[in-house]
Amino acid sequence: MTATARLTRALEALEARHRRRRLAPRQGLDFASNDYLGLASAPCMAAAAQDALDRNVPFGSGGSRLLRGNHPEHEALEAEAAAFFGTEAALFMGGGFQANQAIFSTLPAAGDLVLHDTLVHASAHEGMRLGRAETREFAHNDAADARRVLAEWHAGGNTGQVWIAVESVYSMEGDLAPLSELADLSRAHGAVLVVDEAHATGVFGPQGQGLAHGLNAEVLTLHTCGKGLGASGGLVCGAAAMIETLINRARPFIFATAPAPFTAALVRAALRALQTDPGLTHDARDRMAHANAEVQRLCGLTGFSSQILPVVIGADEPTMSHAEALQQKGFDIRGIRPPTVPRGTSRLRVSITGNVTNEDITMLFEAMASQIPELT
């Protein structure tokens, strides 16, 4: 069998299981993106883009940061991000996936332990796979189980550095990590708490600085720039020694073309917007509260705690059918299937973005209640 025939057969098998993925155009009201503040097309970002044009900020970097790709716009962003997020230093990278790869493949050493939540993002798993440290998982959002797993590791005579890896807001569950308890555990064991703030930045914390902001522990945070911040890239924020180690040893940083300086200018504008316009974060939280109230009133669903509302259907085929029906009614809702989520938990991932109103949110859940009456 040729390679093409083998790949075609594999794609046909995915099709038969309702798991074949396809690129789809944007259409309808935005309940699918991660543009939680609506910054991606906001006037303040357009003004920042025009300002960058007027200042002749380059559209491309032309090389890696360690060659000619470094630009004053990158360095200005990193200084401003470190100040905003309250850390010694920051490093701007091409994206959150690349940044997590860099963190977990570079910082934990042989003999160390990466203790991670079982639902931590695929990018963290990819970094751990490339790294040299031992990895163990604990039950989702269960700090007591993390304590148990860590005690077992120490009981085996292990004495290396511990890195505890979590997301502050989980991208498919929409729930919040028990960061205070995990910070206590980190302090007790001299561990580094690595917090992926991808879905918290701009929405949670003072001025949208994230849920890990102000924790009393040694914390390394990742703030992706393509979600709440409306641009692209990723900011790793933490101790200067960690950032310098990434610059010197992280292959996803060293061997990658630097993000465009123009993009860095847009991220700088997004950080300024969070500091000067408290309405951005306030309005996001207001939409979140409205969504949580309306999904309970209209669909009988409770227990949500963020702007991400997973409506679990279960099987793949009805999940995709419901998503398509809602799309035809004007709501951009996407179905999420394994392996992104565990088998048997296919879901409609409702994302409350900055591109919809409270009235739009109510209309969505009215349509959902009609389309999926078993929810109520």
Which active-site residues does the annotation give?
34, 121, 167, 171, 196, 199, 227
Rounded CA-CA distance 121/197 in Å is 11
Q: What is the CB-side half-sphere exposure of residue 294 using CA atoms within 13 A?
A: 23
Query: Which residues, listed in sequence order, are joined to residue 335 by a DSSP beta bridge?
Result: 348
Contacts 24+ apart (CB under 8 A), 298-304: 298/362, 298/365, 298/366, 298/368, 298/369, 298/376, 299/365, 299/368, 299/369, 299/372, 299/375, 299/376, 300/375, 300/376, 301/375, 304/174
The 10 Å CB-count burial string (b at 16+, else e) for 46-78 is eebbeebeeeebeeebeeebeeebebebbeebb
Q: Is residue 170 within a helix (H) or strand (E), and if so which, with residue range? A: none
Sort strands 29-30 and 331-332 into parallel, antiparallel or unpaired: parallel
Query: Which residues, listed in sequence order, are joined to residue 310 by a DSSP beta bridge?
Result: 349
Number of other residues whose CB lies within 10 A of the CB of residue 249: 13
- Determine phi and psi for 55, rounding to 5 degrees: -90, 5
Contact present, 76 and 268 (Cβ < 8 Å): yes
Handedness of CA 312, 21, 233, 140 (dihedral sign): positive
